[in-house]
Structures are given as structure tokens and as C-alpha cells.
Chain A
């Protein structure tokens, strides 16, 4: 390729055509500050509206300053990234942004992880010369996400995630000029919109404008209540990300430390959502086999492909956008909800306590789980199966509040019986994992043979949409995988149009699956963090002695003692659900 010669801060550089000034500068160690810019390298997602104007640089011969993130280099270009004109402009623009931003940093939930705050520190802002009116907008609290639009800096990252990546289309800029904000259509509140609570907007918001609902106080209160037996379950993706909150390298597996920490926090039983995941495989795998067998036997009423149903944002998505297809997804509840249902029946019975005296807390990489656990269908006499769902980030706050020195904690094991799980359950945490786990069990149940090679490598990876054919001893099973709701939409549209030939499809709302969930430690656009978490998930799987869900001895015991068999009547009552048509336009807020 022919290279372009440019000069940045008097350094001669050769770059490929199409390289931006920002990338060219980075290649020689010059870090131009950015704010609205976001590049998720491994997903090929870029947000560069060139709106914040923080990355402006001087280009020789150009009348005005150029945004480095969105300006391509050309032959002979000469760039200054920090002369007086640039520094003054950059600082003035940042002061302007700060002048329209609340200064409640001390009590802001984003304090310490706010990109605007970091930028102000880096640029040495000590006073804001340009003071004036601040724009105000109503606060919006939903079951999972809080919008504090006064803190919005119009970087439009959330809008890009919501529209371009997720194709949910809830968030977009409304109003003009100083009054412009990012909001749902008709400025309705999130809970009246078609928001799936996937939390990807929260995951990329540079400030405290979009944050999760904080449930940690409720958890602390429950722990302090002697009349309650408090049980915690932790999702697989949490253990490969939590360490980041304590300065550990991305991809560090902290399962044992996490268990120690939860025990120190005072949870009575430290269990694992992976137990629920193994149970999900039993139910969902059986359902899949049932559908495939009936299909192979010529039953025309059977719906294929079957879609996984463990991702709550995905469930919200099809209830809003494809309600006519709600008979296609598996009826199996998610691992979180299966866990809750069993905890408050089977395990409560074992302990001899009433469900009202049991509090189930889930630690999730996800914000949609907060909404899922509040769904009416997952409660008995208004007592929810899962009381509170807190995110990985919230757990980190809890641990810090409790003065626990996380990094020096010893490794401990989960409690029994609901802490036991298999490698199949662990991989639920990444895209492709659920369907691989299902394949391990379905294969053995379908063929009656032992699966020697449990790694279905063809199902793994980070590509948006993947497909593979798994050989079930002569019967080819076609599997599709999508992560990111925009990609899910494509597969769903194919099914709707009758162009889908898959038997089963796994869908995860978040890029990367749960490892990239909206409740995870912030990645600040560094997708190598997600890659490291994914790698750790598979390492965790390999480290397990049992790697097929149906071999989990406590699952076998649960069926023997309580449920009978998969898809039994009791299973249907406790472990399966139904879906609702939520496509009707919500009423517009006053």
C-alpha cells in the first residue's frame, strides 16, 4: 500500500491512506485527548460525531481547527497537537462543557470513573471562566437505568449503541441548541419506551448521565436483618471481570476471592448462578431435543429454530419488537430466575424457612436482570423469586464499603448444594457459550453416546453472527449465534421471512455476551478487556472436572428429590415462563 507522509508535532510519520490524525498521532505516542470519540476495535464500532471538539488540532493551511478523530491525513499534512491556539481552544471548550455540567462530583455515582472528570484533571482545569445558566431536564428512573440528563454532554455514544448496534432506537437527540438532550421519542420515560435495559448505553456513557439503579443499600439492609436468610448467586461473567475493579489485570479469574468476599459481607449462603445455568441446560436442552425429534418425525406444528431465552434484554427486545414470534424462543427461564425459583421452594424447604424470610440476591454483569427479577410472573404472592439484582460494579462498591481487602483474600469454595456447577454453566458468560453447553448435553441425550470432545470450537469467537453445524452422530444440527441486538434482529427477520434453516439460535443482547454486559466494570472502549474476559471464561471451563450440565450431581439430586424430570409439571411451573406482547405504543408521558 502506498503510504502518506505527514508531520505531527514536527515528527515525520508514514501512515496508510484513511488514517485519522488521532490514530496517526497515537502511533508515535502522542495522545490527543478525546471525549465523545469511542472506538470498540474488536467489534468495528466507532462513535465519532466530532461533537465535543476536545480533540481539535491545528492543521497547517486550514482556516479552523480540525477534529483529530474525524479528520483523515493527507500527503504533506502538518499537524500541531498542542500549540497555544490548540490548547486555549481545547481548554475553553472543556470549560464550556463543565459550565453546563453539575458539579456534584463528590456524590456522583460515576465519580472516579467519569471520563469528563479525568479529562478535567488531565487538562488542569482549576476554574471555570465561562459561567452561566445550566440546562435542566427531568430525571428518569426506570427499574434498571437512571437517566440524569443534566450530566449529558451530548457525546451521542448511547445513541450510537442504542440505534446502530442494538437497533432498539430508544435514545436519540431531541430539542435544539442549548436545550438539546438525548431522550426517548416524545421525551417519554424509559419504562414507557421500548428500552430493553441492555445497559449498553450505560456501559459507554462517559459521565454520570446514564447509570444503573443502585440496589446495594437494599442488600446491606437485608444482610443486617437477623430474621432473613440471605442467599447470593453470582453469574459466570462476574468472576472474570470483578478483579478489574480492584486493579487486577483483565481476565483475572477471581472466583475464590469473590466467594470469600461475599461470605465476609455476611451472606448466609454463597451460591452460584451456574447451578441455575446447569438447570437451564437440562430444561432448555430437553425442550430443544423434543422440538428437533418432533421435527425430524415430521411434526409440522413444531417451531424451529428454537431461540435461547436466558438473556433478559433479548426477551424484552422480542416482546417489544417481534411479539408475533414469541412462540419461538425456549420457554425456559433464565438461570437467575431458575435459581431463585428453586432457592425459594426446594432450598427453603430444606432449611425449613418461609420464602418471605429468604432474600435472594443475584450478582449480575447485567442491568436487564434488575428488570427481569421484578417481572410479575417471577413472584409468588408478591414475593419475588429473586429479590435484588446487583451489578458487578455494585458488588465492587459493596466490597469496598465493607473494608474488605479484596486482592489479599484467600480463595474459598461455593456452598452446597446450589454452588455446584459444571464447565458448561461457566461458558454461559460469553457469546456462544449457552449453545455450546446445550450441545454438550443434547448430544449425549440425543445419541445416547458419550461426548468425548466437549469443546465445540466452531461455536466460539467474537464475530457478530456465527453459524456452525454440529454433527449429532449423523444428524447435522444447524446452529446460529448472534450477539448485539442488531444482529439478533437480522436473524429474527430471516426467521420471519422464512429464510432461516437453523435448528437453534443463541442470542445475547450485549456485544461479547454477558462478559460485555451493561453491569460490568467499564471498559472505556478497550475491547481487548472483553477478549481477556472471554479467554478467562474458557479457562474456567477447562479447569472444571465436570463439564456437562447433566452430570452435575446436585442437579441430578434436585431432579431425583424434587422436580422429577426435565419438562415435568413441576419444572413447567417453576422453571418455565411465557412471553407477552409489548408492542403496543406506550402512553406518552405528560
Chain B
């Protein structure tokens, strides 16, 4: 391997690519070549750094300089100044919003300070399309160790000891799952990687596959060794083209290096991996639905038992784990179960990756030890609420989770504490809401999603979610009654209690948790016909303040439905019956005469 003096790591995650990081990469390459530095400076594309808010990211090694929001044209300056002259380009450094100081090293940034990256250890660090870089970071050493030094039972024991729990949402102990599948007798078993990430706003699994695909491949092979499977399948949504491409490259390289295929490490162990594409159905994240989809059947769940560990893909024992779960496995083998178990809370070990989104300053992908508080995540790592607004709630667990409030901020989050608080870990979506968010609308937003994503197999999920959604809509329109609240609560409980799979069993959670924590807002919509956050259009009134109106007619001229009457230089009035609440008058008024009531 060539020894370079300097490495420029350019984020090649989907988010940064959307902000032209590919062109940036080419420009950097071009500059390096034009300046004759190609033997000293290596420019590589990496996976996601996580700090998507400030992307595209360029990291310069070995001095750890972390450039943010780099544009393709900045390549010239980075090469000329930083690489050639050794002077950091200050304007591209992150600015600490509190101190307003430039921060050069990511270690000193609030976003990274409290993070601990295990599953994401290689994301933003290595070139995911180069197996040698993975190997140089202890890649495939865990597989080697398992195959040459450990029996399957020992590996399973190690996994059990580590306390790793499934990161897809269920939180089932991974080692135990492997053990159950290993005990099933069959001529063929399967290892399935669930990469059908479907929560709105979640991109943990995508980032891992884009940034460190080999860790998943390695873990699947280890799992195959443990359970006695020679075949692995990655079920990935077709909407993740970059992850698919990188996974394919990684699989090809692994085969070329003899790390997949027959007789791996000369031990006689055989393992191969195949890819199946999902068509983007949320329900296919449920493992029986996922398996049916892989079999070419309609992606809908069937009742358990039988569990996939007994009868799964093609009716053979099948171990299904999520991408993030797998990404943890090689490190556990290398560093040991005790090390892993020393991180996290009592019943939830290790770390958890969250996709931080919503009204938060630092939108991005983070990984924190289990037991970190919501306050740390939102205010330290996330940098607090955007535009100095007030924190209102955080939705964890995606559409299946609930909304947690101010009073929950100091909960040390793990699988169990989140459930106890009325939400759930889910796969790690975390959407922060501020004072401008209407909680009834938020509940409706999630119900819109579950109504869309219900497979339609069982009646409570198929029809019940639709009815919940209709009732929420009615409330948002100010037409709700107090009886609707009773019906809403009853139906929420019945849908949870009677639905066939996890989708319906959790889909009313956003309704119940917002009713529990923001009952006043429901009352305001129903009793006062008022949306406290001013989000529900039907409940808004645009009004012209007579004192401020100068009669310029701008509002009347721009009203698309001619709802505003008034003479030139006279006071204007909005006819509420005609008004469609488009907001054009508010936008056009230069005298602050129009306001929302």
C-alpha cells in the first residue's frame, strides 16, 4: 500500500451527495493531480459522518480538521491553503453557536463530544468501496477469530454475554435468537439481514450500508457460522441505490478476497450472500412479511408461531437481524463481550444509533451509549431547538412510538425506559418538535403514514387506523366532539390489542401518547375550536387590524378568492366565509395589519 502523507475524506453519503459532494470529490482529486500531489495526498469518498446538517463534510487527516458545508469550488482553496501551505481554511470550519468560535477538530464539537461510535465506527473513516481499508481497521479479523479459534457455541455464548439486543425495534436478545435458530434442525438455514428501513426520517441502516458494508457482510458470515447456514440474504429497499451499489461492490470484493464463498480461511466454512429488493413497504420490516416478500409472495405478515427461527424463508430456519445489529457484531468478537457489556445501561448494552431530525439545530446521524438522556441528545448533540424556539416534544420510535415531553428529558434512554415512558426505541428515529408543532396534527401525520403502509390483512389495522385518522382529521378541522375523544381512545386501544402484527399493535401510540401528554391541545381544538400552535388551517382566522390598515389594497389585490373588501385608503375586512386561509394577504401586507387569530 502506498503511504500517503495526507488523506482528504469526503463524505459520500446520500445527503452530502445531494449537495454535490461527488463534484467536490472530483475537484479535490483534480487539484491534487494538477499540483502534482497524487503521491502524497489521497482523496477518498467515505460513508456518512453523521453531521448531515452541515454537509458536505471534508475531513483532513492526520490533523483532524473538519470542514463543513464545503462547496465544489472550495476544492481549490483547500488544496492551495491547507494541503500546500498548511493553513486551515477558517471560513469552512464549524462555528460553535454559543462561543461563536471556530472549531477545527470534530472531537471538540458538541455534536460529537458525547457520541460513542461502535456501529458507525468506520462510517466517515474508510472508503466503503475499498475492502483493504476495512481490513486495515481489523475488518474480517472477527470472522477469522470465530472460524479458527471458536466453536459456534462459543460465539453464541459471547454474543449472549455481550447483551446485544436487536436494533430493528424489537430489542430481542441477539445471542438468544442465534441460539434458537442454531438448534433448529434443517438441511438448509438462512441468515437474513433486514435492511428494509422504513420509518419516516430514519436512515441509520442506509448510512451503515453506505459507509461500512463489510461490517454487515462479516457479521452475517459469523451468524451463518453460528446457526449453521451457508446462505445469507440482504433484504434491502430498492430506494437505497447507493447502499445497494456499495453492498454489491463489497460483496464482490469479499468474494475476491476469499472472505465469502467456499472454504473461508481454509476452514471449510462456506457462506454466500444474495440481495433481494423490497418495494418500499413499511410492513416488510416485520420479519414474517419480509420473508414472504423475499419468497415472491405478497408482503404481509403471518401469525407467529411458527417463528422464522423454526420456519422462515422457504420454510427453513431463518435468522433475521437488522443492519445495525449486525454492524455491532464484529467489534464484540474482537473487543470481547465484557467490553461491550460495560457500555450502556443495565438491560440495554452498547450504543444506539439515532437519526436526529425535526426542529433541531444539528440534524444528523448520531450514536450514543444506551442510557444517555434525551436532554443530552437534544441539547448537547443536537445543539438545541432551531431558531431559539421552545422544545415541545420528541417523537421516538417512528410511527410506532410516542411523543415524549419536557418531563421525560432526563430519562436515561434504553429499550425499557422508553417503553415505560409510553414510547419505544423503535429502530432509532428521533424527531424533535417545537412550540409551533400541533400535537394533533403530529398524531395525524403518523396515522397518515400507517394508513398508507398497512398491508390490509387484518381488519383493525386496515379499517381501524383509517378511522383513527379520520377522527384526527375531524378534530383538526374543528369539527370534533368530546365523544370523539372517547371513541379515539377506545379505538386506539382496540387496534393495539387486536392487530395481527407489530404495525397495527403500535400504530395508535402517537395518538395515545399525544392524548396523554397534550390533552389540552385536543380540548382546545374541540371545545375552543382553536389550534394553539396555529397549524390547523381550518381553525385559523386571518384578520386585518383596523389600526394598522392604511388601505393600500395590496391584500385585496392578491387575494385569490376575492375575500377582502375595502375602499382605497379605507380599512379592509376579510370575509371569513370566503377566505381559504392561503396566507397571501399576510405575506403581501407591508404594514403588519394582517395577523392570524
Q: Which residues of A contact B (CB under 8 A)?
A: 49-54, 56, 64-65, 67, 70-72, 85, 88-89, 92-93, 96-97, 99-100, 129-130, 132-133, 153-154, 172-173, 175-180
Contacts and interface: CB of A to CB of B under 8 A. Distances in A.
A178 B461 CA distance: 9
B49 to A, nearest CB: 36
Contact of A177 (B456, B460, B505): B456
Contacts of B464: 92-93, 96, 130
B500 A50 contact: yes
Interface in B336-383: none
B524 interface: no
B458 A89 contact: no
A88 B305 CA distance: 26
B461 to A, nearest CB: 8
Interface in B439-471: 451-467, 470
Contact of B463 (A49, A85, A99): A99
Nearest to A91: B494
Contacts of A67: 303, 500
Contacts of B490: 88, 92
B286 to A, nearest CB: 14
Nearest to B456: A180
Given A70-B303, A88-B494, A89-B497, A132 B466 contact: yes
A70 B305 CA distance: 9
Nearest to A48: B303
Contacts of B458: 50-53
B456 A175 contact: yes
What are the 8 tightest A-B residue pairs by CB atom distance, in nearest-first order?
A: A180-B456, A177-B454, A96-B463, A92-B494, A132-B470, A53-B498, A178-B466, A130-B467
Nearest to B498: A53
Contacts of A180: 455-457, 462
Nearest to A49: B457
Given A96-B460, A132-B470, A180-B455, 11 more contacts: A49-B302, A71-B303, A88-B494, A92-B494, A130-B463, A154-B456, A176-B281, A176-B454, A177-B452, A177-B454, A178-B466
B487 interface: yes
Nearest to B281: A176
Which range holds the interface residue count of chain B?
A: 20 to 34
A172 B497 contact: no
B578 to A, nearest CB: 27
Interface of B: 281, 298, 300, 302-303, 305, 451-467, 470, 487, 490-491, 494, 496-500, 505
B486 to A, nearest CB: 9
B459 A96 contact: yes
B545 to A, nearest CB: 40
Given A129-B487, A173-B298, A180-B455, A154 B462 contact: yes
A70 B498 CA distance: 13
Contacts, number: 110
Given A154-B459, A177-B452, A130 B303 contact: no
Contact of A173 (B300, B303, B496, B499): B300
Contacts of B303: 50, 67, 70-71
A176 B498 contact: no
10 contacts: A51-B459, A53-B459, A54-B459, A64-B496, A64-B498, A92-B494, A96-B459, A177-B451, A177-B461, A178-B454
B454 A99 contact: no
A52 B500 CA distance: 9
Contacts of B300: 173
Contact of B498 (A49, A93, A133, A177): A93
A89 B498 contact: yes
A85 B455 CA distance: 25
A71 B459 CA distance: 18
B393 to A, nearest CB: 25
Contacts of A153: 459
Nearest to A153: B459
Given A129-B487, A176-B281, A177-B466, A51 B496 contact: no
Nearest to B490: A92
B460 A93 contact: yes
Nearest to A50: B303
Nearest to A52: B459
Contacts of B457: 49, 51, 154, 173, 180
Given A53-B458, A180-B456, A99 B500 contact: no
B99 to A, nearest CB: 49
